Amino acid sequence: MNNEIDRPNPEDLLKAVNRLDSSVKKGKLKIFLGMCPGVGKTYAMLKTGLERANRGEKVYIGIVETHGRIETEIVSRPIPHVPRLTIEHKNTILEEMDLEGILKIKPSLVLVDELAHTNVPGQRHKKRYQDIEELLSNGIDVYTTVNIQHIESIKDSVLRITGVNVRENVPDFFFDLAEQIEIIDLSPEELLLRLKEGKVYLGDRADRAAENFFKIEHLIALRELALRFIAEKVDHDLQDQMVLKGLSGPWKTSEKLLVGISHSPFSERLIRATRRMSSMIDCPWYALYVQTGEILTDDDQKQLRANIELVQNLGGELLTSMDTDVLNAIRRTCNDKHITQIILGRPDKRLFMDVLLRGNILDRLVDSKSEVDIHVIRSERLPIYRGISERIMKRMPRLTTSFYSYYGAAWLILGISIIAYGLSPYLGYRSMGSLFLVAILFFSTFLTRGPLVFCAFLSAMIWNFFFIPPKFTLAIQTKEDIMMVVSYFIAAMVGGILTSRIRRQEVILERREKQTNSLYEFTKELSSKSDEGKIIKFLKGTLEDHFGSNIKILVSDNKEKVLVNSLQLNEKDYSVALWSYHHNKKAGWSTSTLSASDCISMPLSGESSVLGTVLFYPTDKNNVLNIEQEILLDSLMKQASLALERVIYGRQVQELKLTEVSKKLHETLLNSVSHEMRTPLTALIGSASALKEKAVLDNPETRELLTTEIVSSAKRLNRVVENLLDLSRLERADLALKHEWFTWEEFFHELKNVSNQELGTIKFNFEGNFEGLMDADYTLLLHAFYNLVSNTARYAGSRVEVGIDMDDLSSDNYFHIYFHDNGPGIQKEFKDQVFEKFFRLPNSKAGGLGLGLAIVKNIFELHDGTIELCDKFGGACFLISLPKKKIPASVKDLVDGK
């Protein structure tokens, strides 16, 4: 049994392996963590990197921000720097870390400052921590720095403390990759002195920081957050090592309390004592209830519910276990949860049971090899001279078996007695005792403890009365026969009870396995549900199948945080549901709150909020759920709550992403449109104002230049408005194409004429067979190809050439057209982005909204076609595929007639 208890929990072992496996990378990561800017993270990182460089290792600085701090600049000078990338973004030159440059140099260690930094749009990765992940995967060690407020899970705490919403965050999983996290600690007084001396920020910025973020109460709180984060990380690392190496524990690096509870009224005192102790040492505490298979009366179940409710109200975590031996359950829980202290009540002395079980639960815990400390809480006892009958009745086993079991047991003994009476002349009366003993052991495989004791007593009496001389009396002549009967009775009773106990343990194991399988199947099925309605429907069906009662489920409105009466409940039931929802407690029938209701309302509690309530309508109010059923019910509801929360959070994340994208599109649109419209408008106003001057009117050359500028600016403004209108029209669901038949030859001839008129002289090269007929919206298709030509004229330089090649080899019912130019081309990494709205290539010429290719793609898709980048020709090369359609006879005759 001890081997089973000491064996590591498989789930904990798997978690530990996964955590350690996630941290085993080719490159090693070290994070320098600080409570806020100015504590010396960057300096410490550079100093440690310099030590490795002095040992002959290849160390480079990927990117470091000194912020004008002299000490930081001095310590960074001996370490070579990887030149930074310079990127133009919104007419501003920005610098970024050159990831490709670092990968080409392949240093043994690279120093990367400001882990939470967001890269300029257009880089390979959106966040700097993703750059670091790639460096690690390429076998490069990385040192980096971060402040506590940038950790995702701590963001809300920082907001409450400082009132500052930190926008740049690093997900918590990234810190599992770190082989080492070193905290750079500094007292708030020293940090404020550094701030005052200008070693953190310069000038007015330091004064503003001291008045806002750098208040001493803020710094103390941030310092505590940083220290707690490191303590939790170290604690997890220690637990992982203990699980993987099978080390016995717990090692008392952090305190965890465990209190054992039962249906005893004295459990309330133990629970409150445990809560007081946990508050004094500021540690988590657990309450363990062991299901031993004992049948509880209604009063006992009521008291047990009260004890469990007290645990939940006082903030403890309830743990349940199934075992016939309470000590085994306690030891197993201590190993799983790394418990350091156990709180127990003083057990009563039980002479016979203590001898049989080698002591009471306290004695056995003290005698065990466990390193857990034990606290014994004194409980009140009845004086020995008072309440003797009450004490005796309390010790007496409860009659839980029906009368028919005893009736059947009597007939079994009667049958064995008849057989024994027939055999006794041949085997002797003493051999009949063995026959009765074998029968008792056989009966123990299907009888319970009460009938077994009855069988042992009855068979001893029958053996004495009918078989042992003198027969037909209870008198026994010899001492040997007296000893034989007493021994038989004790052996039969103990053997039967022990066999029955083994059976009960098997039943408990079967129940535990059944409950585990039920939870597994339930959780497995839940994981496949991706919709709130499906989860609610599945939960309702499962609860009705398990408990045979009517179930109703109400779900809250996540935005308004209001419980929606979607099932039109009556006022009484809805009031119970509302109370349960707002107080996160059970209410209604069989509880202490609103007990006149016809239902029990139980909250669907997630990790961070109450998601709704489950209304349980019992079919028989005299048959209350037992504790085991309630525990299973709570487990099923908890799993369903987590599944609901997963779906809700997933939807919220998606909505946030869409909102963020929409916000960025909105900002980009406003910036681009304002710039694109303001530029030609300014030119129009300037040129028109200049034409009002008499000197300009008298000068034909100047007047011609200004007139040309007005026309050019008006065309540019018209192009911007047309693109916006085109995009709006193309995204309408009711847009109808105006189909007409035309030849590609006349279509591209028209394209060439329009392009030369609007854009100036452009050289077109046509290759292939252009005699095919196309059924499409001629105007829209011409607009799409014109946008491609316009892009070429804008970006291809002074000498503009356009090649249009019709693929003669295509035989898949599609026209394949290659459109290419002699410009600089488009990089492969932007292959999937060039067709997005408002996207413009980095370092591209000013002007344009980034809508041209998006409009082109929409037009081709409206015609059931596609456009994609290809590399068959030089410059920017697009492959356009448009469907061929069956040509009507009338159209074909008309074309042939021409």
H helix and E strand count, the chain:
29, 24
Going by C-alpha positions, the residue among 604, 629, 632 that lies closest to residue 618 is: 629
Q: How far is CA 535 from the centre of its chain?
A: 17
Q: Report the C-alpha gap between 309 and 267 in whole angstroms.
A: 12
Query: What are the start-end ranges of the H helices in 95-147?
Result: 99-105, 128-137
Judge whether residue 636 has pLDDT over 60.
Answer: yes
3-class SS of residue 785: helix
pLDDT of the residue at 389: 47
Top-confidence residue, 522 or 784: 784
550-557, strands of its sheet edge to edge: 562-563, 550-557, 610-617, 600-605, 587-588
Q: Are strands 180-184 and 29-34 parallel, antiparallel or unpaired?
A: parallel
Neighbours of 886 (CB within 10 A): 7
DSSP 811-858: -SSEEEEEEEESS----GGGTTTTTSTT---TTPPS---S-HHHHHHH
Top-confidence residue, 140 or 850: 140
pLDDT of the residue at 308: 82
Going by C-alpha positions, the residue among 765, 786, 784 that lies closest to residue 776 is: 784
Judge whether residue 446 has pLDDT over 60.
Answer: yes
Q: Show the beta-strand stretches assigned E in 121-274.
A: 141-147, 180-184, 257-261
DSSP code for 168: -
Judge whether residue 109 has pLDDT over 90.
Answer: yes
Q: Report the C-alpha gap between 745 and 734 in whole angstroms.
A: 31
3-class SS of residue 474: coil
**Confidence band of 14 (pLDDT split at 50, 70, 90):** very low
Judge whether residue 73 has pLDDT over 70.
Answer: yes
Using alpha carbons, list the distances in angstroms from residue 117 to 65, 126, 144: 11, 9, 11
Q: Give every CB contact of residue 291 below 8 A, 6+ residues apart in sequence.
A: 320, 321, 322, 323, 508, 627, 628, 631
Q: What angle do CA 276, 278, 284 make, to 5 degrees?
A: 145
Judge whether residue 282 has pLDDT over 50.
Answer: yes
Indicate the range of 331-340, 419-428, 653-662, 826-835 predicted with least confidence.
Answer: 653-662
Going by C-alpha positions, the residue among 135, 70, 69, 59 that lies closest to residue 97 is: 135
Segment 778-806, tens digit of pLDDT? 887 888 888 888 877 777 665 567 777 77
pLDDT of the residue at 397: 47
**Confidence band of 629 (pLDDT split at 50, 70, 90):** confident
pLDDT of the residue at 22: 45
Q: How far is CA 6 from the centre of its chain?
A: 30
pLDDT of the residue at 554: 83
Longest dimension (CA), the chain: 155
Segment 366-419, tens digit of pLDDT? 666 566 788 887 765 545 444 444 444 444 445 455 677 777 878 888 888 888
**Confidence band of 317 (pLDDT split at 50, 70, 90):** confident
Judge whether residue 4 has pLDDT over 50.
Answer: no
Q: Are 789 and 801 contacting, i.e. CB atoms less than 8 angstroms apart?
A: no
Residue 443: its H or E element: helix 429-443
**pTM as predicted:** 0.44
Q: Is 163 left (phi over 0), alpha (psi -120 to 50) or beta?
A: left
| Residues paired with residue 550 on neighbouring β-strands, in sequence order | 617
Q: Are 141 and 109 contacting, i.e. CB atoms less than 8 angstroms apart?
A: yes
pLDDT of the residue at 741: 86
When mean pLDDT is compared over 293-302, 474-483, 519-528, the highest value belongs to 474-483
pLDDT of the residue at 360: 67
* Rg of the chain (C-alpha set): 42
Going by C-alpha positions, the residue among 839, 830, 845 that lies closest to residue 123 is: 830
Q: Report the C-alpha gap between 270 and 278 in whole angstroms.
A: 12
Mean pLDDT in residue range 260-279: 84
Using alpha carbons, list the distances in angstroms from residue 274 to 257, 337, 360, 606, 728: 7, 16, 21, 26, 67
Q: Are 371 and 253 contacting, i.e. CB atoms less than 8 angstroms apart?
A: no
Q: Are 892 and 774 contacting, i.e. CB atoms less than 8 angstroms apart?
A: no
Q: Are 325 and 2 contacting, i.e. CB atoms less than 8 angstroms apart?
A: no
pLDDT of the residue at 578: 85
When mean pLDDT is compared over 56-70, 510-524, 538-552, 610-624, the highest value belongs to 56-70
3-class SS of residue 508: helix
- Structure-token match 């708030």, residue found: 188
Q: Give every CB contact of residue 832 below 8 A, 6+ residues apart in sequence.
A: none
Question: What does the block give as tokens for 563?
Answer: 């419980």
Find out whether the peptide bond into 470 is cis, omega within 30 degrees of 0. yes
pLDDT of the residue at 2: 46
DSSP 190-208: HHHHHHHTTSSS-THHHHH
Top-confidence residue, 254 or 757: 757
Q: Are strands 141-147 and 180-184 parallel, antiparallel or unpaired?
A: unpaired
pLDDT of the residue at 12: 52
Amino acid (1-letter code) at residue 514: K
Q: Are strands 180-184 and 92-96 parallel, antiparallel or unpaired?
A: unpaired
Q: How far is CA 618 from the centre of its chain?
A: 35
Residue 890: its H or E element: helix 889-897
Q: Are 206 and 196 contacting, i.e. CB atoms less than 8 angstroms apart?
A: yes
Q: What angle do CA 819, 824, 830 make, to 5 degrees?
A: 80
pLDDT of the residue at 210: 60
| Residues paired with residue 320 on neighbouring β-strands, in sequence order | 289
Q: Can you say whether the dihedral through the CA atoms of 17, 23, 27, 30 is positive or negative? A: negative
Cα atoms in the 13 Å half-sphere on the side-chain side of 208: 5
Q: Report the C-alpha gap between 786 and 782 in whole angstroms.
A: 6
Would you say how long the chain is, in residues? 898
pLDDT of the residue at 387: 42
DSSP code for 82: P
Indicate the range of 29-33, 77-81, 367-371 predicted with least confidence.
Answer: 367-371
pLDDT of the residue at 508: 67
Q: Report the C-alpha gap between 834 and 730 in whole angstroms.
A: 18
Segment 709-744, tens digit of pLDDT? 787 777 767 766 666 666 555 555 455 677 888 888
Arithmetic mean of pLDDT over the chain: 75
| Residues paired with residue 291 on neighbouring β-strands, in sequence order | 322
- Structure-token match 């008499």, residue found: 694
Q: Are 869 and 801 contacting, i.e. CB atoms less than 8 angstroms apart?
A: no
Judge whether residue 851 has pLDDT over 60.
Answer: yes
Residue 51: its H or E element: helix 41-54
- Structure-token match 């309630």, residue found: 630
